[in-house]
Amino acid sequence: MNLTEKMRQEAAQILESKEADLVIGWGGGEYYWQSPPLFLEDAAGAAELAFSPFIVNNLAKYLLEELESHEKAALFVKGCDTRGINRLLQDHRIQREAVLLIGVPCAGLADREKLKAAGYDAGLLQVERQGDSFILTLEGEEGAREVPAGEFLLDKCLECRYPNPLVYDRLLGEEVQKPRERDPMARVREVQKKPVDEKYAYWQEKLSRCIRCYACRNVCPACNCRECIFDQNAPRWVGKANQLSEKQNYNIIRSFHIAGRCIDCGECQRACPMDIPLMEINRKIIQDLTELYGEYEAGIDPTDVPPLGTYRAEDPAGFSER
Amino acid sequence: MKRVGVFVCWCGSNIAATVDIERVIAAARKMPNVVYASDNKYMCSELGQASIRESIEKENITRVVIASCSPRMHENTFRKTVAAAGLNPFYLEIANIREHCSWVHKEGEVGTVKAISLVRTAVAKAARNEPLTPSSLQITKRALVIGAGIAGIQAALDIADSGYQVDLVEKEPSIGGRMAQLDKTFPTLDCSACILTPKMVDVAQHDNITLHTYSVVEKVDGYVGNFTATIRKKSRGIDMEKCTGCGICYEKCPVKVDSEFEAGMAKRRAIYVPFPQAVPNKPVIDRENCRYFTQGKCKVCQKLCPAGAVDYELEDEVLTVEYGAIVVATGFDILDLQAYGEYGYGKHPDVLTSLEFERLVNASGPTGGKILRPSDGKPPRTVAFIQCVGSRDQAKGKAYCSKVCCMYTAKHAILLREKVPGAKPIVFYIDVRTPGKDYEEFYNRATDEYGATYIRGQVGKVYPEGDRLIIRGVDSLSARPVELEVDMVVLAVAVTARADAAGVGRMLGITTNAHQFFNEAHPKLRPVETHSAGIYLAGMCQGPKDIPEAVAQASAAAVKVVGLLNKDSLVGNPTVANVDESMCSGCLECTQVCPYDAIKEKSITERRGRETLTRTVAEVNEGLCQGCGACSVACRPGANNLKGFTNEQILAEVDAVCL
Amino acid sequence: MSVAKEGFEPLIVAFCCNWCSYAGADLAGTGRMPYPANVRIVRVPCSSRVNPSFVIRAFQRGADGVIVAGCHPGDCHYHSGNFFTRRRLSVLRRLLEYMGIEPERFQVRWISGSEGAKFAQVMTDLTADIRALGPNRKLRDAL
Ligand SMILES: Cc1cc2nc3c(=O)[nH]c(=O)nc-3n(C[C@H](O)[C@H](O)[C@H](O)COP(=O)(O)OP(=O)(O)OC[C@H]3O[C@@H](n4cnc5c(N)ncnc54)[C@H](O)[C@@H]3O)c2cc1C
Ligand code: SF4
Ligand code: SF4
Ligand code: SF4
Ligand code: SF4
Ligand code: SF4
Ligand code: FES
């Protein structure tokens, strides 16, 4: 049985046995790269579930809303998604008993942009993972082509450290072994090296693109507040005017709010319609926290205390204490 | 619309000589929300205050800004003025144009420009000031004292003598603590029991003291004036009402174990009274060793008891009691010597700790007060005393000085000479520290009158040769090695915090230092208070100290308790954190940063359409909150906001100060 | 980006905790220890009350420099407030630097209630540093 079938079977069984009254999973779409979230209350709908190398959506955040109208929700989760689950658990935003987690080990997902760049997008019907390769099903004569998966993986998958779910009730398929192939901090170090005015110019160029759509916040498992400060009128934490300073304000404060809490999932950057390298900001903070206050990874253990929620008397300071 | 009145003070020439008051007033009149501005030579004078009151009434002013000296100086004065005019006292803001302006910016007109800016900032904040009412807290007129060593005893007696009820909780079967184990006490050499026992009896007989021995405090909730403690009175297996304390029961008990009180130098039974002067002088059954409890058979004591007081079925009693104040007096332990193998402690019976030596010299101790070698029962001719064992030793022991060892070692040297005429006390020391009234003199007596030899230097090794002990060390003054043959070695072991101190601290919400001694609120100015209002410290649990210091601190703590209990009610601090439940996500991040553990989670139910949802939110206990605002910053969505220093106010101040 | 200008008078916003640094500023006053009038103090109960949003807001509204001053670690009136300050503002300071803000423009200092002279000195040095950097345009609202 392939993973798609397993997912369907699992979902149908859960709904039939009333183990949960909602299943959230990934569906398929018209195009090969589509994998929209699917909300099933009825076993009949399970046939729409589809596993593909494009199930990048972290479904965890849908729980916030869905659990208001459902007793228990079953959720398909990849390794990275489970850190988001832990994030929500740690922030007391969901109850563990209210979710049924179906773990899906993940050997890495495909990046449509990379496929495009290699000239594969047009006429591509389907992408399947097979061992170390992606099998591309193409329109017309050629039919199928095998390409090395490593060349077409999402950057975040190359940097992934947790391909297997950290928390789950059931696991579909075998755990995978997948070494981290790329140092996620490389970009941070590069940006960091720039002289101060160049850094400003770099970020000015990036952040001036921000349209304050708040997609990055909306998708973020760490941004799970009931009422975000950026939506408040009194006080007004961010001005309405469409100007660089407010975009900077938003992006600095957003990243500060997830300091020590960001699970490094990359969803914000993926969701950003303006291609702003948000992970270069988030990871800068992860790097500094590690450097100053010790190794810490958010969303691994929901019972620990994030670095900004604690201190040691002998902590170093990131400024001169003279 | 808020109607802000601005009152600019000249402070004689203190402000007026530098700041152009006229210009400040003119500028103030143009600021948003300002309806009135005036000046006075001395705003704090009766006349000045009267003019403020009059203007508030006449001009219908609803928010007040006074530009004057530091709020740390006159904020309270002016709050009263504002209140006298019928406004909420927290409608006042002060612009500090003296300390922060006229006194430091004397050249040109910069002082005037800055004064205007400071006034503008204060106006911006004042326009957003909300009425605040300090909560009034009731005070439970009862105190809890934890630990009944000399410090706890003294504190309990002083509080009780002032007319308040005190519960004294002691985990051991008897009160008395370490002092009951000591023989004589420096620097006067009066016998410890002789001065302690009367106090113990006073405690037992005091109308205002309820004694709970063999008891522990399991839980403390609440805050100053309103603590609730759960006390577990462990079952003694004895009906305390029936028992007459005759002592027949323990004579025939078949079990013998090391006596804690005798520091393991003698045995006790499984049913026992720890020492003859114990209070209460009634036995306890040690369930871990009692044959009936371990093997199910025996009951000898029950058969013997003429009063029928032995009852194996008696269960623990759990009390929940309310208190207004708490004194922590849990005392100290001595260092475990495992890391100090070189001194041969535990290997050679004639190597003793100082506490064991106290028992050895004690007339009611294992030898009846005769100093005899545990190995062969012979009096020692030469005794080496080694100071600083584990103290001032960063590497293996404790970095701090134990404070009492220099003095009690001098005492031990004197007692040795008194009890074993002709015996030779030899003391190894690093420094001899004798600060204290009559202390240096006492030490001089040890060397001059009692012929104690003091060798500066450390001991490297103690080992037996024949029936004697060899000491190897270095005399650091002559830099020469020393080798001595002695009959007994006494180690002045470091004092340490109780093993459970950190746990007790967590239970009470008070902190400990790196060595688990409880932290006082201020090392100089608030030595008996803790950071938690209503909880005070007495005795060694706060740090090494001798009996006179422990007693002084206990009396000081008692005064603090009495001062608190004397009040009719407590006026709370109104600038406390507040959680907007509708906004709160229940992440509880704010609870983690509160130094006073003032925020707890709470469950609320609310309707959402047709569903009823239960969710978690944070709730601030206004009695505990001190108003630091750390939580308000930890709260990302700003649901937690500090009254008096709200996000709105500070953002408005920032906007204004930058104008 | 930052061009030193003739006659430039920097605006410096100083968040001072009530118990130490604000008191230190009072002491500088009582001791008549002059420092540049460019420094404007906003009083907060504890350095831990300073929200990074306040700092950004100050830069937005035209501050050329921002300083947060609190009690020395271990001396916070609220016992542990400034330990949190230290962590939070260390992160913020590095982040701002990463975003291209000169580190001199955002500082954190420990100034006790008895350090009037230190208060005056820190503020004098800070003003000189900012004066040398010139007016801040970064993060600032469009005029
Ligand atoms: C060998 C030696 C000789 C000394 N000689 C002298 C001397 O000559 N002169 C002098 O001035 N000082 C001397 N001292 C110091 C003196 O012993 C102390 O200053 C004094 O005993 C401190 O009293 P305390 O009440 O603080 O502590 P303790 O005597 O330790 O009393 C604390 C009490 O609290 C109880 N307790 C602990 N934890 C709990 C709990 N969780 N719940 C309930 N109860 C609890 C304990 O059982 C104990 O009864 C000597 C010390 C030593 C080690
Ligand atoms: S900030 Fe971005 S990477 Fe971090 S948890 Fe949120 S969405 Fe994921
Ligand atoms: S940006 Fe801040 S306030 Fe908004 S959702 Fe994220 S964490 Fe919450
Ligand atoms: S998703 Fe991108 S454009 Fe939208 S608010 Fe975030 S950073 Fe700005
Ligand atoms: S930090 Fe804010 S949102 Fe979280 S529990 Fe506290 S008040 Fe609520
Ligand atoms: S203001 Fe300070 S003391 Fe009060 S609840 Fe918040 S963190 Fe605790
Ligand atoms: S009160 Fe000064 S830093 Fe907390």
CA distances to B170, B265, B461, B492 from B341, in Å = 33, 20, 9, 15
Neighbouring-strand partners of residue B607: B612
B604-613: per-residue pLDDT in tens?
A: 998 877 778 8
Q: Cβ distance B18 to B8 under 8 Å?
A: no
Tell me which chain B residues have a C-beta less than 8 angstroms from the C-beta of C41: 96, 100, 118
CB of B361 shorter than 6 A to ligand 1: no
> Residue for token digits 């004036």?
B225
Q: Cβ distance B590 to B635 under 8 Å?
A: yes
Q: CB–CB of B659 and C53 under 8 A?
A: no
At residue C6, does pLDDT exceed 80?
Answer: no
Mutate to test the interface with C, among B116, B628, B631 (most CBs of C within 10 A): B628
Complete domains list, chain B, with CATH: 4-126 (3.40.50), 142-234+316-331+498-565 (3.50.50.60), 248-304 (no CATH), 333-496 (3.50.50.60), 577-643 (3.30.70.3270)
Complete domains list, chain C, with CATH: 12-133 (3.40.50.960)
Smallest Cβ–Cβ distance between A292 and the set C60, C90, C109 belongs to C90
Beta-carbon count within 10 A of B314 CB: 16
Confidence label for C4 from pLDDT (cuts 50, 70 and 90): very low
Q: Does A213 touch chain C (CB under 8 A)?
A: no
> Residue for token digits 């009412």?
B133
At residue C3, does pLDDT exceed 70?
Answer: no
At residue C5, does pLDDT exceed 60?
Answer: no
Q: Cβ distance B555 to B168 under 8 Å?
A: no
C42-98: per-residue pLDDT in tens?
A: 999 999 999 999 999 999 999 999 999 999 998 898 889 999 999 999 999 999 999
Atom 19 (ligand 1): residue with closest C-alpha? B546
Question: Which parts of chain B have pLDDT scores under 50?
Answer: none
pTM over 0.80: no
> What's the confidence (pLDDT) of residue B609?
78
Q: CB–CB of B654 and C62 under 8 A?
A: no
CA dihedral A104, A105, A107, A111 (to 10 degrees): 30
Q: Cβ distance A77 to A165 under 8 Å?
A: yes
Query: B with C: how many residue pairs have Cβ under 8 Å apart?
Result: 128
What is the CA A36 to chain-centroid distance, rounded?
Answer: 14
> What's the confidence (pLDDT) of residue B136?
86
Question: Which parts of chain A have pLDDT scores under 70?
Answer: 1
Angstroms from A283 CA to nearest CA on chain C: 10
Tell me which chain C residues have a C-beta less than 8 angstroms from the C-beta of A201: 1, 100
Q: Which stretches does DSSP call E strand in B213-357? A: 215-223, 226-233, 256-258, 267-269, 271-272, 284-285, 317-323, 325-328, 332-334, 351-353
Report d(CA A292, CA A301) in Å as an integer: 20
Report d(CA B634, CA B179) in Å as an integer: 47
SS (H, E, C) B115-183: HHHHHHHHHHHHCCCCCCCCCEEECCCEEEEECCCHHHHHHHHHHHHCCCEEEEECCCCCCCHHHHHCC
Q: Which secondary-structure segment (H or E) carries B9?
A: strand B4-9
> What's the confidence (pLDDT) of residue C1?
42
Q: Does A241 touch chain C (CB under 8 A)?
A: yes
C14-45: per-residue pLDDT in tens?
A: 999 999 999 999 999 999 999 999 999 999 99
Report d(CA C9, CA C2) in Å as an integer: 14
> What's the confidence (pLDDT) of residue A321?
77
> Residue for token digits 């958010």?
A298
Pairing of strands B488-493, B351-353: parallel
Q: Does C16 touch chain B (CB under 8 A)?
A: no
What is the CA A5 to chain-centroid distance, rounded?
Answer: 24
Smallest Cβ–Cβ distance between A229 and the set B593, B638, B648 belongs to B638
Token pair for residue A82?
């489970």
Ligand 4: which residues within 6 Å by Cβ? Answer: A 210-216, 271-274, 276, 278
What angle do helix axes B547-566 and B150-161 make, rounded to 10 degrees? 30
Tell me which chain A residues have a C-beta less than 8 angstroms from the C-beta of C92: 256
Pairing of strands B611-620, B599-608: antiparallel
Looking at chain B, which residue has its C-alpha nearest residue A68?
B613
What angle do helix axes C52-60 and C81-98 make, rounded to 10 degrees? 40
Which residues lie below 8 Å from residue C40, measured CB to CB, with a gap of 6+? B114, B117, B118, B121, B657, C11, C12, C13, C14
Tell me which chain A residues have a C-beta less than 8 angstroms from the C-beta of C103: 196
> What's the confidence (pLDDT) of residue B524?
83
CB of A261 shorter than 6 A to ligand 3: no
Q: CB–CB of A311 and C74 under 8 A?
A: no
Report d(CA A107, CA A114) in Å as an integer: 17
Q: Is the peptide bond before C34 cis (omega within 30 degrees of 0)?
A: no
A11-30: per-residue pLDDT in tens?
A: 999 999 999 999 999 999 89
Q: Cβ distance C15 to C92 under 8 Å?
A: no
